[in-house]
Amino acid sequence: MRYYIITGASRGLGKAMAEALLQDEQNCVLGVSRNSTITHPRYRHQPLDFSDIAGVEHNLHKVFAQLPDAQKIVLVNNAGVIGEIGYIGQSQNEHFEYVFDVNVIVPAMFMNMFLQSYQHRQDCDRMIVNISSGAGQKAKDGWAAYCASKAALDMLSQTAQLEQEQLGTGVKVFSVAPGIIDTDMQEQIREADVEQFRSVQQFRDYKTQGALASPEEAAQKIIRLINEPQIARGVVCSVRDF
Ligand SMILES: NC(=O)c1ccc[n+]([C@@H]2O[C@H](COP(=O)([O-])OP(=O)(O)OC[C@H]3O[C@@H](n4cnc5c(N)ncnc54)[C@H](OP(=O)(O)O)[C@@H]3O)[C@@H](O)[C@H]2O)c1
């Protein structure tokens, strides 16, 4: 069997990926997020709130089970939040902790547990795909915590890949920007106050001009990366390159 651990599989890109993967009867998906929205014989859900670090710590062992029949094990760190859009100096201090817990701390803990659990499993393919953003490379006003969190995810991925190469484990790690996708996150961005995000109109135009990718289209590109990792230009990559 091929096993996919997908965080944030309850909606948006993560749900589209899970549903596409479940069409192949060799694939099993474990979804991890607060809500469960998929019912399928090869889908299992682990409810977790990534803003509750103690709760995540307590339940991590349930996510990274022994998978003796695995031919392939893939972790997709997809769950993410943009948080309250607003300038540094006008934000709540808790905002930074929340965005970093969900977008960086828990993904790093998942990478750590994945590697501890599976890096010696040379009998199967193992891959970590972190869902990043172009915002990790280019600053956007009002998005400081989000931009910084995705930059951190990119560097975590590069470091993990370097280490796995030095250890010779064969584990592949990517940090991929999935493009602009028509999900709840984009809806939240379009609702931002122009005083808190000067380019908000551009994002409203993306929607009215039909420039957003569907979650299903974006999911297919990430699945292509999983199946054909040689299409990536490097550890940090973008679906625009495929
Ligand atoms: N949409 C875009 O244009 C775009 C562009 C670039 C990058 N991305 C990245 O793509 C990924 C998916 O984004 P999306 O647009 O699909 O977002 P979305 O539709 O808002 O879905 C976010 C997912 O993350 C989960 N999540 C949120 N808070 C959580 C928490 N506290 N604990 C556990 N899970 C939580 C949600 O599940 P629950 O609510 O059930 O917990 C949901 O399944 C994110 O990493 C995002 O940064 C998106």
pLDDT at 231: 97
Q: What is the CB neighbour count within 10 angstroms for residue 228?
A: 10
**Model confidence pLDDT, tens digit, residues 88-129:** 999 999 999 999 999 999 999 999 999 999 999 999 999 999
Q: Is the CB of 100 under 6 A from ligand 1?
A: no
pLDDT at 52: 98
pLDDT at 146: 98
Give the residue extent of every domain in the chain: 2-181+215-241
Residue 167 token pair: 């250890």
pTM above 0.95, yes or no: yes
Distance 142 CA to ligand 1 centre (A): 18
pLDDT of 136 above 90 = yes
Q: Which CATH architecture has domain 2-181+215-241?
A: 3-Layer(aba) Sandwich (3.40)
% pLDDT > 90, the chain: 100
Q: Is the CB of 12 under 6 A from ligand 1?
A: yes
Phi, psi of 88 (to 5 degrees): -65, 135
The mean pLDDT value of the chain amounts to 98
Residue 77 Cα: closest atom of ligand 1: 45
What is the arithmetic mean of pLDDT over 4-22? 99
DSSP secondary structure, the chain, as one string:
-EEEEEETTTSHHHHHHHHHHTTSTTEEEEEEES------TTEEEEE--TT-HHHHHHHHHHHS---TT-SEEEEEE------S---TTSS-HHHHHHHHIIIIIHHHHHHHHHHHHHTT-TTSEEEEEEE--GGGTS--TT-HHHHHHHHHHHHHHHHHHHHHHHHT---EEEEEE---B-SHHHHHHHTS-TTT-TTHHHHHHHHHTT-SBPHHHHHHHHHHHHH-GGG-SSSEEEGGG-
pLDDT of 242 above 90 = no
Q: Is the CB of 81 under 6 A from ligand 1?
A: yes
pLDDT at 157: 99
- Give the pLDDT band of residue 190 (cuts 50, 70, 90): very high
